[in-house]
Amino acid sequence: MTVPLQVPQQATSSGEPLRISVLGATGSIGTSTLDLVSRAPERYRVEALVAQRDATKLAAAARANDARLAVVADPAAYRDLAAALSGSGIEAAAGPDAVVEAAQRPADWVMAAIVGTAGLAPSLAALASGRRLALANKECLVTAGELFMRRAAEVGATVLPVDSEHNAVFQGMLSGPRAAVERVTLTASGGPFRTWTRAAIAAATPEQALKHPNWSMGAKVTIDSASLMNKGLELIEAMHLFQLDADQLDVLVHPQSIVHALVQYSDGAVLAQMSVPDMRVPIAHCLGWPVRLNGPVTRLDLAAISSLTFERPDLDRFPALRIAMEALAAGGAAPTVLNAANEIAVAAFLQRRLTFSGIAGLVAATLESVAPGAAPQTLAEALALDAESRAVAEGLLSEIAAKAS
């Protein structure tokens, strides 16, 4: 059974700085988080910063924010990190085990922003009694949503959604009883190919797919946005976060990226959360929760924008969203397989081993090839199914690439 999102009724304040850690400190979410933290250094004390392999950027962030610990997941980057931190008094470490240990360090608030399934183990490790976990890694819930939310409930952690759409739903759900929520609609910009023909989309290059019209994000998320797979993953994430059924979730394409989600109530009211497309808005909401911070972002000017438009997603031109919606409806292990296959497909596309249309083709073929089963209930089960699905996807890659070319 899916465990609903838990939120505290009130904050407790000892007057001490909030101890924070950032997992994924050199990515777009991590840097936006540290930008907010740096604007009020008296309010925050940085415990640990984690990155994949960019030792130079990580060391600079650790020094700028007076972190106690900096960790690179790639052991090969340790020497550079240690050299860059020499004389600073900041502890350096490397390797997957060190990442998990960093996630467990004493902190009041942890940003979980490691991209992909690689973020699952450290995000689970970051869950602790009384801790607030700002979750920006949607793959945690797609790969092991039942396990993740159950663990959070067991230890009494508070999971705060960072994705702009889920943060918008979170805010909208505070306006009425959960039982009165009828429908939740996530919005999608439509990505760079919103108006392209199916043939043009199929021939799209990585450079074209990486040119998102509204958001500045990492490569993986940007490609997922271009295929609309990102919106399918977000539907699965929303199901777990907010204890919703598949038929209570919907998607609308909204090119302006001003309305991030809509929550429809039983009395007919529909609440829309709006803001400029800047990830510092939802991050600030999570960082200050339940207090509103004074954010540095541009204020929304609806008169200047003039109009907001909405349209149904085209599941023929964007089959990845249809496949993800089918996995959502199927439940069980399907979302775990979906996510693993998609990570392999996106990496292959960026490496030019697969066409853009081949992304959806490889995911669909992998879902057909991996035997369906129950949703993983332990970290070991989730990682084993992920590994199996990746191996199957890799095995199918050449065949799918040939068909899609």
Q: Enumerate the known binding-site residues for 1-deoxy-D-xylulose 5-phosphate.
A: 138, 164-165, 189, 212, 225, 230-231, 234
Q: Which residues are annotated as a binding site for NADPH?
A: 26-29, 53, 137, 139, 218
- Express the helix, strand and coil content of the chain in percent, nearest 5 each: 50, 15, 35
Write out the two tokens for 226: 């271009």
Annotated binding site: 26-29, 53, 137-139, 163-165, 189, 212, 218, 225, 230-231, 234
Q: What is the DSSP-derived secondary structure letter of residue 24?
A: T
Annotated binding site for Mn(2+): 163, 165, 234
Dist. CA 182–CA 142, nearest whole Å? 22
Phi and psi based region of residue 190 (left: phi greater than 0; alpha: psi -120 to 50; beta: remaining): left
Closest CA to 36 of 300, 292, 287: 287
Beta-bridge partner residues of 251:
186
DSSP secondary structure, 186-252, as one string: EEE---TTTT--HHHHHT--HHHHT--SS----HHHHHHHHHTHHHHHHHHHHHHHHT--GGGEEEE
Contact 112, 133 (CB under 8 A): yes
